[in-house]
Structure 1
Amino acid sequence: MTTARFLTSDDVSGLASPREYVETVRDGYRQRGEGAPAEPRTKLPNADPPGMLTGYSAVLPDTGAMGGYMYAAGFGAEDAWFVTPLFDAESGEPLALLDGASMNPFKTGAAGAVGVDALARPDATSVALIGAGSQARGQLRATVTVRDVETVDVYSPTKESRESFAAEMNERLDAAVAAVASSSAAVENADIVITATSASDPVFDGDLLADGAHVTAMGQYHPEKRELDTTAIERSKYVPDLRARVMQDAGSFIHAVEEGVVTEDHVHAELGDIVAGEAPGRETPDEITVFDSGGTGIETVAAAKLLYDRAVEEDLGSEINFAPASEALTGE
């Protein structure tokens, strides 16, 4: 019998800062670039009631942990439930089981910020943010830890949402955050463009991207989700979180391939390859870069281990017991 720690969403909320999430997720991607195993998400759809069961996993040897995410969305409750199992990477024993909801925007935002740090110009100061929900908050709060952001233009189709988001972020951040009336107004001349939506159609015109711009797109985790148009893909140095997921669920890239605009060879490198120094990131001030962040076990395991360690320090959570297979598989 071994003991693991169950951590509720309230237990882990506030245990780490956006900067700390970014640092631990960056190290996770460094390990991936050096060969750490990670698999893209698998999705099991259900027709009646409509819903989706999704999971993905990673092993981070230097972090000393492995595990992933499993979540159900839709179904009868019409909600989402996030579960994160965490195992010791040496012994294989379970360390923790986390309610993964509250960490989701932070670990996803951290992955986006690692992409910004690897690919955006060092002197980037202006951000265009498309989306005004919890994921947009996570992306922006993480991004300001890796660049000296001075201005943020945020667009959401709902006027009240973008204005309340701007007001909140103006209180929280040093940057000047303004709500704008269109995605075009946000994107034009922006150094960094972040899309945090669930859109099925492109949310801005790729011709509007200024030379030298960087784009982080985090809402592209299904073949039919297309935050970016074919022009943005074609103009960019394209970097996904995992190469194996590109033709599986990176909707904008899949569409660009189907339209004949690019081929699969347009993938420059995985983010981990760049973080580990195995592939170059930005090579000229004028090139346009895209980080396609569909979600992986890399940021999930890295963030979960960070939270687990903090919870142990503060004696948070409750104990649960697991029986090893050598004891439990008795055949009786």
Structure 2
Amino acid sequence: MTDVLFLRSDELAGLATPAEYVKWVRAGYESHGQTGTAEPRTKLVNGDPPGMCTGYLSILPEVGGMGGYTYAAGFGDADVHFALPLFDAESGRMLALLDGASMNPFKTGATGAVAVDELAREDASTCAVVGSGAQARGQLKATATVRDFEEVRVFSPTPESRESFAADFDDRLAADVTAADSASAAVSGADVVITATRASDPVFHDDDLADGAHVTAMGQYDRGKQEISAETVARSTYVPDLRERAFQDAGAFLAARDAGFVNDDHIHAELGEVVAGSAEGRTSDEEVTLFDSGGTGIETVAAAWGLYERAKERGLGETIEFAPGSEALTGE
């Protein structure tokens, strides 16, 4: 039998700071940019009852781990559960099984922060956030560790949500955090713009986006999701998490391509290539950069590896047994 460490979500919650997640995820993207392997998610959709079963994988040799998420959403359950098996990238042995619920907004936020650190201007001091849910919160927590913002403006269509978000982060951050009355008011003049919505249409106008701004878009994970306008996609130095994913389900990029604003060659580089130094990031202060994040196994495995190692140090989790295939198949 193989001993596998099972780690509950409540054990993982609070086990790492946003800055540590950023460090781990950066190492993951650097590994992917060097010798790693990752594929876009596989998404299987069911009609009746409506739901989906999805997952994605990555091998990160320099990090030392491989594995990924599998989860289902919809069907008869209104909730979602994230199962995360983690394997050793050298031996292939299964090391851990994580309940990935609590780490989800942190590892996703860390991915956006790595992109901001690579692509935003060094002197970026103003941040706009469009969205006020868990992913928007995770993005701002992580991004605030890589830039010293003086001002943060948040917009959500629900006044109570944006006011609550602003009040919460005004207490957390050194920056002045306020609620904006519109997306235009939030985005205008911002150095960094974060969109974390489920919108099917652009959430701000390209005219509102200043020259030299960086945009991190988190809601571009389906052909029907288009938080960012075709004009902004065309104007930008466009960097997705995975090149192949951009062609599969990056809604804003695909809409811009279908409308003739860009072609396949508009993809500048993958984030891992920029982090690893094999592709340039920002080249001028006037350039608009856009990071398109739809979720990959890269940040998932990288964050899980960091959490696994810390959990072992602190004696967390419980050991469960998995039968190796050779034993199961032979009955010995």
TM range (shorter): over 0.9
Percent sequence identity over aligned pairs: 65
Equivalent position SS for 2:142: helix
Alignment match, 1:162: 162
Shift of 1:316: 1.0
Matches within 5 A, 1:136-147: 136-147=136-147
Equivalent position SS for 1:181: coil
Question: Residue 227 of structure 1 contacts residue 252 of structure 1 at CA under 8 Å; is this kept in 2?
Answer: yes
Shift of 1:321: 0.5
Alignment match, 2:182: 182
Alignment match, 1:92: 92
Alignment match, 1:270: 270
Listed one character per residue, the Cα deviations across residues 244-296 of structure 1 (whole Å, up to 9, x for unaligned) are 11110000000000000100100000011110110100000000000001110
Cα distance in structure 1, aligned partners of 2:196 and 2:275: 23
Shift of 1:35: 2.6
Matches within 5 A, 1:51-62: 51-62=51-62
Question: Residue 195 of structure 2 contacts residue 219 of structure 2 at CA under 8 Å; is this kept in 1?
Answer: yes
Equivalent position SS for 1:40: coil
Cα distance in structure 1, aligned partners of 2:205 and 2:70: 34
Alignment match, 1:238: 238
Cα distance in structure 1, aligned partners of 2:10 and 2:141: 20
Cα distance in structure 2, aligned partners of 1:81 and 1:201: 28
Question: Residue 236 of structure 1 contacts residue 290 of structure 1 at CA under 8 Å; is this kept in 2?
Answer: yes
RMSD: 0.9
- Normalising by the residue count of structure 1, what TM-score does the alignment of the two structures yield? 0.99
Cα distance in structure 1, aligned partners of 2:196 and 2:204: 12
Shift of 1:318: 1.1
Alignment match, 2:74: 74
Query: Which stretches of structure 1, 4 residues or more, deviate above 3 A after TM superposition?
Result: none
Listed one character per residue, the Cα deviations across residues 188-220 of structure 1 (whole Å, up to 9, x for unaligned) are 100000001111111111121100000000111
Question: Residue 207 of structure 1 contacts residue 231 of structure 1 at CA under 8 Å; is this kept in 2?
Answer: no
Question: Residue 24 of structure 1 contacts residue 306 of structure 1 at CA under 8 Å; is this kept in 2?
Answer: yes
Cα distance in structure 2, aligned partners of 1:35 and 1:214: 28
Listed one character per residue, the Cα deviations across residues 112-166 of structure 1 (whole Å, up to 9, x for unaligned) are 0000001000000100000001101110010011111111000001000000011
Alignment match, 1:301: 301
Cα distance in structure 1, aligned partners of 2:207 and 2:123: 22
Matches within 5 A, 1:310-325: 310-325=310-325
Across the two proteins, how many residue pairs are aligned to each other? 332
1:38 maps onto 2:38 in alignment: yes
Question: Residue 72 of structure 1 contacts residue 80 of structure 1 at CA under 8 Å; is this kept in 2?
Answer: yes
Cα distance in structure 1, aligned partners of 2:19 and 2:119: 18
Listed one character per residue, the Cα deviations across residues 68-116 of structure 1 (whole Å, up to 9, x for unaligned) are 0111111101211111110011111111111111100000000000000
Listed one character per residue, the Cα deviations across residues 45-77 of structure 1 (whole Å, up to 9, x for unaligned) are 011111111100001111111000111111101
Amino acid at match of 2:317: G
Question: Residue 28 of structure 1 contacts residue 302 of structure 1 at CA under 8 Å; is this kept in 2?
Answer: yes
Question: Residue 45 of structure 1 contacts residue 52 of structure 1 at CA under 8 Å; is this kept in 2?
Answer: yes
Alignment match, 2:330: 330
Equivalent position SS for 2:228: coil
Amino acid at match of 2:314: E
Cα distance in structure 1, aligned partners of 2:325 and 2:234: 51
Equivalent position SS for 1:199: coil
Question: Residue 9 of structure 1 contacts residue 98 of structure 1 at CA under 8 Å; is this kept in 2?
Answer: yes
Equivalent position SS for 1:98: strand
Question: Residue 5 of structure 2 contacts residue 318 of structure 2 at CA under 8 Å; is this kept in 1?
Answer: yes
- Unaligned segments of structure 2, at least 5 residues: none
- Normalising by the residue count of structure 2, what TM-score does the alignment of the two structures yield? 0.99
Shift of 1:330: 2.2
